């Protein structure tokens, strides 16, 4: 019964977000969980989509993500004792998890708690100690498993509200680094910095052009005129993504070390296309050569895409997105049939400026730029043909570029 009530309230939060006061709704969920509501604060941190620059972040290249208006919310209130209680409206069946301040060991169940607890652990390791407990109620509206980085969103959110509530004074970029540290070392995922950085430093209407080697970044206004961003979820799930991811990291590192015998570089991201063409003979194996070629060319494409966006050249931006997909498909080999079918079918349609797989690959989502007045027609056509060809139902998310973490 409790679960049903929670799901109903949660659904209401989602459907009526424009109409009802979100803060009220989240406070209501908090009250249903913990039976009090006085003094509760509500926070938000966004998910992200990467427009271009895929698998470049651990190769010392650029990425070009933007924060979304969908993300994760938390209603929180400090306690007088040392208990930390965590609950997620997305996993009502898992109930409330309770730990003590200072006891940050890995939690077997509910496993989702390891994302926020990892952040509390990382804060503790860096000397930011909670001096009392806290009650936390999470709720996220990022579709699960879509690759829009719900994990970074819940991590950044946790670091952000703890920073605010306990007055740690940590800068947003350091919040991103801390969350990446937590996901790497507490959750055992070898992720780069992009997801946490995009969530922490998001800015409405802007993409973030980030140099992952130096963490210098620039905002680039996304001025779409008659076009819209659309995310298409292939709903293709892949169970061994992380092993492929680790393979790619290793392959790119091996290619780099072979190039380093001849040239003095720290990462593939330092190479221009012509430098790569000049020295590619150093790479002994065709597969490794293709991996390195993707890392180098994708980084250069991302630099060109930023310039195109600054010049409001959406046509070029869209073409670079498609080139990115082809390179991810053929050279880096991280796409899959489902993502390829979506891209192939979309490119047959009128009103499509650009489309590519986004995220780690092997499933997940495509992101595209489409004429706003044709978008419903495009969705219907892709929906039909994708179901026919792949036997899976796609989901479509009309997204907007939103703000970074904030208190509501």
Out of 135, 195, 211, 323, which one is annotated catalytic?
195
The residue (of 34 and 115) whose beta carbon lies closer to Mg ion is: 115
CB of 147 to ligand ADP, least distance (A): 5
CB of 180 to Mg ion, least distance (A): 11
Total residues in contact with ligand ADP, by rule CB under 6 A: 14
235 binds, among ligand ADP, Mg ion, none (CB under 5 to 8 A by kind): none
**Using CB under 6 A as the criterion, what x/- string covers residues 113-142 for binding ligand ADP?**
--x----------------------x-x--
CB of 235 to ligand ADP, least distance (A): 13
CB of 115 to ligand ADP, least distance (A): 5
The residue (of 116 and 133) whose beta carbon lies closer to Mg ion is: 116
CB of 31 to ligand ADP, least distance (A): 18
147 binds, among ligand ADP, Mg ion, none (CB under 5 to 8 A by kind): ligand ADP
136 binds, among Mg ion, ligand ADP, none (CB under 5 to 8 A by kind): none
90 binds, among ligand ADP, Mg ion, none (CB under 5 to 8 A by kind): ligand ADP
Distance CA 38, CA 77 (A): 9
199: contact with ligand ADP by CB under 6 A: no
Map the footprint of ligand ADP across residues 144-173, applying CB under 6 A: 147-151, 154
195 is catalytic: yes
- Which of 59, 90, 151, 180 binds Mg ion (CB under 5 A)? It is 151
The residue (of 246 and 310) whose beta carbon lies closer to ligand ADP is: 246
Is the preceding peptide bond at 388 cis, omega within 30 degrees of 0? no
**Using CB under 6 A as the criterion, what x/- string covers residues 61-90 for binding ligand ADP?**
-----------x---------------x-x
CB-neighbour burial class of residue 7 (10 A; exposed 0-12, middle 13-18, buried 19+): middle
The residue (of 117 and 220) whose beta carbon lies closer to ligand ADP is: 117
Other CB atoms within a 10 A radius of the CB of residue 240 amount to 9
CB of 138 to ligand ADP, least distance (A): 4
CB of 363 to ligand ADP, least distance (A): 10
Write out the chain in H/E/C secondary structure. Answer: CHHHHHHHHHHHHHHCCCCCCHHHHHHHHHHHHHCCCCCCEEEEEEEEEECCCCCCHHHCCEECEEEEEEEEEEEEEECCCCEEEEEECCCHHHCCEEEECCCCCCCCCCHHHHHHHHHHHHHHHCCCCCCCCEEEEEEECCCCCCCCCHHHHHHHHHHHHHHHHHCCCCCHHHHHHHHHHHHHHCCCCCCCCHHHHHHHCCECCEEEEEECCCCCEEEEECCCCCEEEEEEECCCCCCCHHHHHHHHHHHHHHHHHHHCCCCCCCCHHHCCHHHHHHHHHHCCCHHHHHHHHHHHHHHHHHHHHHHHHHCCCHHHHHHHHHHHHHHHHHCCCCCCHHHHHHHHHHCCCCCEEEEEEECCCCCCEEEEEEEHHHHHHHHHHHHHHHHHHHCCCCEEEECCECCCCEEC
The residue (of 89 and 269) whose beta carbon lies closer to ligand ADP is: 89
Q: Could you list the active site residues?
A: 195
Binding site for Mg ion (CB under 5 A): 151
Binding site for ligand ADP (CB under 6 A): 72, 88, 90-91, 112, 115, 138, 140, 147-151, 154
């Amino acid at each position: 019964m409790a679960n049903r009530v929670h799901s109903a309230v949660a659904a209401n939060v989602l459907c009526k977000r424009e109409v009802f006061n979100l803060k009220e709704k989240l406070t209501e969920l908090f009250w249903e969980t913990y039976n009090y509501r006085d003094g509760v604060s509500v926070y938000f941190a966004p998910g992200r989509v990467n427009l271009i620059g895929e698998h470049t972040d651990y190769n010392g290249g650029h990425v070009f993500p933007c924060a979304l208006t969908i993300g994760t919310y938390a209603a929180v209130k400090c306690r007088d004792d040392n208990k930390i209680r965590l609950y997620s409206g997305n996993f009502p069946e898992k109930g409330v998890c309770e730990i003590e301040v200072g006891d940050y060991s890995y939690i077997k169940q509910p496993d989702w708690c390891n994302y926020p607890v990892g952040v509390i652990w990382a804060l503790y390791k860096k000397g930011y100690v909670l001096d009392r407990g806290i009650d936390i109620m999470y709720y996220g509206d990022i579709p699960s498993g879509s690759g829009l980085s719900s994990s970074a969103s819940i991590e950044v959110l946790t670091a952000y509200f703890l920073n605010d509530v306990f007055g740690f004074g940590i800068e947003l970029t350091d919040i991103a680094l801390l969350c990446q540290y937590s996901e790497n070392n507490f959750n055992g995922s070898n992720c780069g910095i992009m997801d946490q950085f995009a969530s922490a430093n998001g800015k409405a209407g802007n993409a973030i052009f980030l140099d992952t080697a130096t963490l210098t970044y620039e905002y680039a206004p996304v001025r779409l005129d008659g076009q819209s961003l659309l995310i298409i979820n292939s709903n293709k799930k892949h169970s061994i993504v992380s092993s492929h991811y680790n393979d790619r990291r290793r392959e790119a590192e091996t290619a780099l070390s072979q190039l380093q015998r001849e040239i003095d570089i720290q990462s593939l991201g330092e190479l221009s296309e012509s430098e790569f063409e000049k020295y590619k003979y150093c790479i002994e194996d065709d597969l490794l050569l293709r991996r390195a070629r993707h890392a180098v060319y994708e980084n250069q494409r991302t630099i060109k895409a930023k310039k195109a966006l600054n010049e409001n050249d959406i046509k070029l931006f869209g073409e670079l997105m498609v080139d990115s997909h082809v390179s991810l498909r053929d050279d880096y080999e991280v796409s899959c049939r489902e993502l390829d079918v979506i891209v192939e079918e979309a490119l047959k349609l009128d009103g499509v400026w650009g489309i590519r797989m986004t995220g780690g690959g092997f499933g997940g989502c495509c992101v595209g730029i489409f004429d706003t007045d044709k978008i419903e027609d495009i969705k219907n056509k892709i929906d039909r043909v994708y179901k026919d060809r792949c036997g899976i139902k796609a989901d479509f998310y009309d997204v907007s570029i939103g703000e970074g973490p904030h208190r509501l």
